[in-house]
A and B are shown apart, each in its own frame.
Chain A
């Protein structure tokens, strides 16, 4: 299993441009998550999904959109990039967080710079 994969690894955007960060998992997990991590800080949840067709906001959803058309894929869309969105973005998945012992598996991250 590849686990959780993310593309691209790095990207530089100009202010106002848009892009989609891709995330795919091959573990048949129901739940998927997007986090961002600013320098020296912990991860903050942007959006999450409990299954295909169902998404919900996390702590910091403004400026982002998500969709979940399949179990495997959970893309994150930035419509109008701003310098404040410069960060490292991590995608994660888990089987079922309603189970107390559920753990999340993380992808390698996408480092995004907005200039």
Chain B
């Protein structure tokens, strides 16, 4: 599975959009980009995933560049409850396929 690079921390004002970047320059054609988050030592929570098209769900939007070497997770209107560590993970399919968690980006949402 390809490795990912994320900034260690980011701040965002409540009500503003939070844009979390991720680099995955060695991603291969059959690998998806997944985003999970972990709120204060709780179990990680799935947010969104995508292959090459932009994706949106009730939690967030995912923008993947055309060359697929980077992506951005967008929380459109961040709230204090969005304060968490966000993990960008590249995952392939297969029985040995596993989630490889890096250290993620710690997002702090402030008033």
Interface residues of A (CB under 8 A from B): 4, 33, 35, 40-45, 48, 50, 58, 88, 90, 92, 97-109, 111
Q: Quick one: which of B88-111 are within 8 Å of A by CB?
A: 91-95, 97-104
Chain A nearest CB, measured from B59 CB (Å): 13
Interface residues of B (CB under 8 A from A): 30, 32, 34, 41-46, 49, 51, 87, 91-95, 97-104
Determine if B98 and A98 form an interchain contact, defined as CB atoms under 8 angstroms apart.
no
Chain A nearest CB, measured from B40 CB (Å): 11
Name the residue on A nearest B42 (C-beta): A108
Residue of A97, A99, A107 with most chain B CB atoms under a 10 A cut-off:
A97
> Which residue of A42, A48, A107, A108 is within 8 Å of B87 (Cβ)?
A42
Residue of A4, A58, A104 with most chain B CB atoms under a 10 A cut-off:
A104
Chain B nearest CB, measured from A2 CB (Å): 13
Residue of A40, A41, A43, A111 with most chain B CB atoms under a 10 A cut-off:
A43
Determine if B41 and A101 form an interchain contact, defined as CB atoms under 8 angstroms apart.
no
Determine if B98 and A33 form an interchain contact, defined as CB atoms under 8 angstroms apart.
yes
Contacts of A88 in B (CB 8 A): 41
Contacts of A44 in B (CB 8 A): 101
